[in-house]
Amino acid sequence: MKPMNIAIAGASGRMGQMLIAALQQAPDARLAGALERAGAPAIGSDAAAFTGARAGVAITDDLAAGLAGAEVLIDFTRPEATLAHLAYCAAHGVKLVIGTTGFDAAGKAAIAAAAEKTAIVFAPNMSVGVNVTLKLLEFAAKQFDLGYDIEIIEAHHRHKVDAPSGTALKMGEVIADALGRDLKACGVFAREGVTGPRDPSSIGFATVRGGDIIGDHTVMFATEGERIEISHKSSSRQHYANGALRAAHFLADKQRGLYDMYDVLGLNG
Protein backbone atom coordinates (compact mmCIF):
# COMPACT_ATOMS: atom_id res chain seq x y z
CA MET A 1 0.00 0.00 0.00
CA LYS A 2 1.30 3.45 -0.91
CA PRO A 3 1.85 5.54 2.25
CA MET A 4 -0.44 8.54 2.65
CA ASN A 5 1.35 11.89 2.50
CA ILE A 6 0.35 13.93 5.57
CA ALA A 7 1.32 17.46 6.63
CA ILE A 8 1.13 18.68 10.22
CA ALA A 9 0.17 22.20 11.32
CA GLY A 10 1.61 23.54 14.56
CA ALA A 11 4.55 21.21 14.06
CA SER A 12 6.58 22.38 17.06
CA GLY A 13 3.67 22.39 19.53
CA ARG A 14 2.78 19.62 21.96
CA MET A 15 0.17 18.02 19.73
CA GLY A 16 2.17 18.64 16.56
CA GLN A 17 5.17 16.82 17.96
CA MET A 18 3.00 13.90 19.06
CA LEU A 19 1.57 13.66 15.54
CA ILE A 20 5.01 13.79 13.95
CA ALA A 21 6.27 11.08 16.30
CA ALA A 22 3.25 8.92 15.40
CA LEU A 23 3.89 9.46 11.69
CA GLN A 24 7.51 8.43 12.11
CA GLN A 25 6.26 5.06 13.38
CA ALA A 26 3.39 4.58 10.91
CA PRO A 27 4.05 2.16 8.02
CA ASP A 28 1.08 3.46 6.02
CA ALA A 29 1.77 7.21 6.25
CA ARG A 30 4.67 9.62 5.87
CA LEU A 31 5.35 13.19 6.92
CA ALA A 32 5.06 15.37 3.81
CA GLY A 33 5.10 18.84 5.36
CA ALA A 34 5.38 20.69 8.67
CA LEU A 35 3.83 24.12 9.22
CA GLU A 36 4.34 26.75 11.91
CA ARG A 37 3.32 30.35 12.45
CA ALA A 38 5.53 33.10 11.04
CA GLY A 39 8.40 33.87 13.37
CA ALA A 40 8.24 30.58 15.27
CA PRO A 41 11.70 29.61 16.60
CA ALA A 42 11.48 26.14 15.04
CA ILE A 43 11.17 27.37 11.45
CA GLY A 44 13.93 25.90 9.29
CA SER A 45 14.68 23.03 11.65
CA ASP A 46 13.99 19.38 10.86
CA ALA A 47 10.45 18.51 11.95
CA ALA A 48 11.58 15.41 13.86
CA ALA A 49 14.62 17.00 15.54
CA PHE A 50 12.92 16.75 18.95
CA THR A 51 13.02 12.93 18.64
CA GLY A 52 16.76 12.86 18.01
CA ALA A 53 16.13 11.61 14.47
CA ARG A 54 15.56 13.30 11.12
CA ALA A 55 12.39 13.38 9.04
CA GLY A 56 13.98 15.16 6.10
CA VAL A 57 11.18 17.74 6.28
CA ALA A 58 11.91 21.30 7.37
CA ILE A 59 9.36 23.29 9.38
CA THR A 60 8.08 26.24 7.35
CA ASP A 61 5.60 29.12 7.53
CA ASP A 62 5.05 28.96 3.75
CA LEU A 63 1.72 27.21 3.09
CA ALA A 64 2.52 26.45 -0.55
CA ALA A 65 5.86 24.85 0.36
CA GLY A 66 4.54 23.00 3.41
CA LEU A 67 1.56 21.52 1.58
CA ALA A 68 3.17 20.93 -1.83
CA GLY A 69 3.31 17.15 -1.46
CA ALA A 70 0.50 16.63 1.05
CA GLU A 71 -2.74 14.76 0.52
CA VAL A 72 -4.05 15.61 3.99
CA LEU A 73 -3.29 18.34 6.54
CA ILE A 74 -3.84 17.54 10.22
CA ASP A 75 -4.49 20.74 12.16
CA PHE A 76 -4.72 21.11 15.96
CA THR A 77 -3.80 24.80 16.15
CA ARG A 78 -5.93 27.92 16.78
CA PRO A 79 -9.13 28.95 14.96
CA GLU A 80 -7.53 31.87 13.11
CA ALA A 81 -4.64 29.72 11.87
CA THR A 82 -6.89 26.80 10.94
CA LEU A 83 -9.18 29.06 8.93
CA ALA A 84 -6.20 30.38 6.95
CA HIS A 85 -5.06 26.81 6.28
CA LEU A 86 -8.65 25.86 5.41
CA ALA A 87 -8.92 28.45 2.65
CA TYR A 88 -5.69 27.28 1.04
CA CYS A 89 -6.58 23.59 1.30
CA ALA A 90 -10.04 24.12 -0.20
CA ALA A 91 -8.51 26.02 -3.12
CA HIS A 92 -5.80 23.40 -3.77
CA GLY A 93 -7.60 20.12 -3.10
CA VAL A 94 -5.81 19.21 0.13
CA LYS A 95 -7.98 17.24 2.56
CA LEU A 96 -8.19 18.25 6.22
CA VAL A 97 -8.42 16.67 9.65
CA ILE A 98 -9.36 19.47 12.05
CA GLY A 99 -8.99 18.96 15.80
CA THR A 100 -8.82 22.69 16.60
CA THR A 101 -11.44 23.91 19.09
CA GLY A 102 -12.90 27.33 19.93
CA PHE A 103 -14.53 28.16 16.58
CA ASP A 104 -17.41 30.61 16.56
CA ALA A 105 -20.47 30.17 14.35
CA ALA A 106 -18.79 31.94 11.42
CA GLY A 107 -15.75 29.67 11.69
CA LYS A 108 -17.90 26.56 11.68
CA ALA A 109 -19.79 27.90 8.66
CA ALA A 110 -16.48 28.44 6.84
CA ILE A 111 -15.52 24.82 7.50
CA ALA A 112 -18.86 23.61 6.17
CA ALA A 113 -18.44 25.75 3.04
CA ALA A 114 -14.90 24.44 2.45
CA ALA A 115 -16.22 20.88 2.69
CA GLU A 116 -18.05 21.51 -0.57
CA LYS A 117 -14.61 21.70 -2.23
CA THR A 118 -12.54 19.19 -0.27
CA ALA A 119 -13.01 16.38 2.25
CA ILE A 120 -12.82 17.30 5.95
CA VAL A 121 -13.02 15.44 9.25
CA PHE A 122 -13.89 18.02 11.91
CA ALA A 123 -14.22 16.85 15.51
CA PRO A 124 -13.50 18.47 18.88
CA ASN A 125 -11.80 15.29 20.03
CA MET A 126 -10.12 12.64 17.87
CA SER A 127 -9.82 10.05 20.63
CA VAL A 128 -11.57 6.76 19.90
CA GLY A 129 -12.31 6.45 23.63
CA VAL A 130 -13.87 9.90 23.85
CA ASN A 131 -16.12 9.24 20.87
CA VAL A 132 -17.30 5.93 22.32
CA THR A 133 -17.95 7.87 25.56
CA LEU A 134 -20.10 10.33 23.59
CA LYS A 135 -22.16 7.41 22.31
CA LEU A 136 -22.58 6.14 25.88
CA LEU A 137 -23.72 9.62 26.97
CA GLU A 138 -26.34 9.69 24.23
CA PHE A 139 -27.74 6.40 25.52
CA ALA A 140 -27.53 7.43 29.19
CA ALA A 141 -29.24 10.78 28.62
CA LYS A 142 -32.29 9.05 27.16
CA GLN A 143 -32.58 6.87 30.27
CA PHE A 144 -32.08 9.75 32.71
CA ASP A 145 -34.44 12.20 31.05
CA LEU A 146 -36.63 12.85 34.11
CA GLY A 147 -35.52 13.89 37.57
CA TYR A 148 -31.76 13.88 36.94
CA ASP A 149 -29.56 16.97 37.11
CA ILE A 150 -26.78 17.00 34.52
CA GLU A 151 -23.38 18.55 35.17
CA ILE A 152 -20.25 18.42 33.00
CA ILE A 153 -16.86 18.90 34.67
CA GLU A 154 -13.69 19.26 32.62
CA ALA A 155 -10.04 19.86 33.51
CA HIS A 156 -7.09 20.79 31.28
CA HIS A 157 -3.55 22.14 31.48
CA ARG A 158 -2.76 25.76 32.25
CA HIS A 159 -1.98 26.60 28.60
CA LYS A 160 -5.44 25.83 27.18
CA VAL A 161 -6.99 29.06 25.95
CA ASP A 162 -10.67 28.16 25.40
CA ALA A 163 -13.30 27.16 27.95
CA PRO A 164 -15.27 25.03 28.25
CA SER A 165 -13.27 22.59 26.18
CA GLY A 166 -14.55 21.59 22.78
CA THR A 167 -15.02 18.06 24.10
CA ALA A 168 -17.13 19.28 27.04
CA LEU A 169 -19.29 21.31 24.68
CA LYS A 170 -19.68 18.31 22.39
CA MET A 171 -20.77 16.21 25.39
CA GLY A 172 -23.35 18.87 26.22
CA GLU A 173 -24.59 18.97 22.62
CA VAL A 174 -24.94 15.18 22.47
CA ILE A 175 -26.89 15.12 25.74
CA ALA A 176 -29.09 18.08 24.80
CA ASP A 177 -29.90 16.56 21.41
CA ALA A 178 -30.81 13.24 23.04
CA LEU A 179 -33.18 15.10 25.37
CA GLY A 180 -34.66 17.33 22.67
CA ARG A 181 -33.13 20.47 24.18
CA ASP A 182 -31.07 23.32 22.73
CA LEU A 183 -27.71 23.64 24.52
CA LYS A 184 -27.58 27.36 23.74
CA ALA A 185 -30.79 27.77 25.75
CA CYS A 186 -30.18 25.30 28.59
CA GLY A 187 -26.39 25.46 29.07
CA VAL A 188 -25.18 27.15 32.28
CA PHE A 189 -21.53 28.15 32.00
CA ALA A 190 -21.01 30.28 35.12
CA ARG A 191 -22.37 30.39 38.68
CA GLU A 192 -21.61 33.09 41.20
CA GLY A 193 -23.45 34.68 44.10
CA VAL A 194 -27.09 33.91 44.81
CA THR A 195 -28.07 31.82 41.81
CA GLY A 196 -31.42 30.52 43.09
CA PRO A 197 -32.62 26.93 42.79
CA ARG A 198 -31.24 24.86 39.95
CA ASP A 199 -33.32 24.83 36.77
CA PRO A 200 -34.04 21.11 36.25
CA SER A 201 -33.78 21.48 32.47
CA SER A 202 -30.30 23.03 32.58
CA ILE A 203 -26.97 21.41 31.74
CA GLY A 204 -24.20 22.85 33.88
CA PHE A 205 -20.51 23.21 33.05
CA ALA A 206 -17.53 23.54 35.38
CA THR A 207 -14.00 24.25 34.17
CA VAL A 208 -10.64 23.57 35.83
CA ARG A 209 -7.30 24.81 34.46
CA GLY A 210 -3.99 23.88 36.01
CA GLY A 211 -0.63 22.16 35.71
CA ASP A 212 -0.13 19.68 32.92
CA ILE A 213 -3.55 17.95 32.92
CA ILE A 214 -3.96 16.46 29.44
CA GLY A 215 -7.76 16.31 29.57
CA ASP A 216 -10.33 14.97 32.04
CA HIS A 217 -14.08 14.97 31.40
CA THR A 218 -16.86 13.75 33.68
CA VAL A 219 -20.61 13.92 33.15
CA MET A 220 -22.70 13.59 36.30
CA PHE A 221 -26.35 12.52 36.29
CA ALA A 222 -27.54 13.26 39.84
CA THR A 223 -30.92 12.65 41.46
CA GLU A 224 -32.31 11.96 44.91
CA GLY A 225 -30.49 8.94 46.31
CA GLU A 226 -28.03 8.22 43.49
CA ARG A 227 -25.43 9.71 41.21
CA ILE A 228 -24.14 8.23 37.95
CA GLU A 229 -20.83 9.49 36.54
CA ILE A 230 -19.39 8.75 33.11
CA SER A 231 -15.76 9.81 32.77
CA HIS A 232 -12.93 9.87 30.30
CA LYS A 233 -9.42 10.75 31.49
CA SER A 234 -6.37 11.26 29.28
CA SER A 235 -2.85 10.56 30.50
CA SER A 236 -1.21 11.05 27.08
CA ARG A 237 -1.90 12.81 23.78
CA GLN A 238 -1.02 9.60 21.94
CA HIS A 239 -4.64 8.52 21.54
CA TYR A 240 -5.50 11.88 19.95
CA ALA A 241 -2.69 11.35 17.44
CA ASN A 242 -3.79 7.79 16.71
CA GLY A 243 -7.37 8.94 16.13
CA ALA A 244 -6.24 11.78 13.86
CA LEU A 245 -4.23 9.38 11.70
CA ARG A 246 -7.23 7.08 11.53
CA ALA A 247 -9.33 10.06 10.39
CA ALA A 248 -6.76 10.94 7.72
CA HIS A 249 -6.91 7.42 6.28
CA PHE A 250 -10.73 7.57 6.35
CA LEU A 251 -10.49 10.48 3.91
CA ALA A 252 -8.40 8.51 1.40
CA ASP A 253 -11.34 7.76 -0.91
CA LYS A 254 -13.34 10.93 -0.17
CA GLN A 255 -13.25 13.88 -2.55
CA ARG A 256 -15.40 16.32 -0.57
CA GLY A 257 -17.81 16.42 2.34
CA LEU A 258 -17.83 17.17 6.07
CA TYR A 259 -17.37 14.21 8.42
CA ASP A 260 -16.83 13.67 12.13
CA MET A 261 -15.33 10.88 14.23
CA TYR A 262 -18.66 9.07 14.38
CA ASP A 263 -18.31 8.66 10.61
CA VAL A 264 -14.69 7.55 10.96
CA LEU A 265 -15.56 4.95 13.62
CA GLY A 266 -18.90 3.82 12.16
CA LEU A 267 -20.85 5.02 15.23
CA ASN A 268 -23.66 6.79 13.39
CA GLY A 269 -27.06 5.20 13.55
Q: Which of 92, 117, 135, 160 is catalytic?
A: 160
d(Cα 73, Cα 35) in Å, to the nearest integer?
10
Q: What is the model's pLDDT at position 1? A: 67
- For 4-122+237-265, the fitting CATH number among 1.10.3720.10, 3.40.50.720, 3.30.70.100, 3.65.10.10 is 3.40.50.720
pLDDT tens digits, the chain, 269 residues: what are they? 689 999 999 999 999 999 999 999 999 999 999 999 999 999 999 999 998 889 999 999 999 999 999 999 999 999 999 999 999 999 999 999 999 988 999 999 999 999 999 999 999 889 999 999 999 999 999 999 999 999 999 999 999 999 999 999 999 999 999 999 999 999 999 999 999 999 999 999 999 999 999 999 999 999 999 999 999 999 988 999 999 999 999 999 999 999 999 999 999 86
Residue 83 confidence (pLDDT): 98
**Domain residue ranges of the chain, discontinuous segments joined by +:** 4-122+237-265, 128-234
What's the DSSP call for residue 251? G
Instruction: Identify whether 160 is a catalytic site residue.
Output: yes
Kindly list the distances between the CA atom of residue 46 and the CA atoms of 51, 58, 92, in Å, as whole numbers in the listed order: 10, 4, 25
Catalytic hit among 156, 170, 232, 239: 156
Res 268: pLDDT: 83
Residues 201, 179: Cα–Cα separation, whole Å: 10
Let me know if 156 is a catalytic residue. Answer: yes
User: Is the distance from CB of 12 to CB of 21 less than 8 angstroms?
Assistant: no
CATH class of the domain defined by 128-234: alpha beta
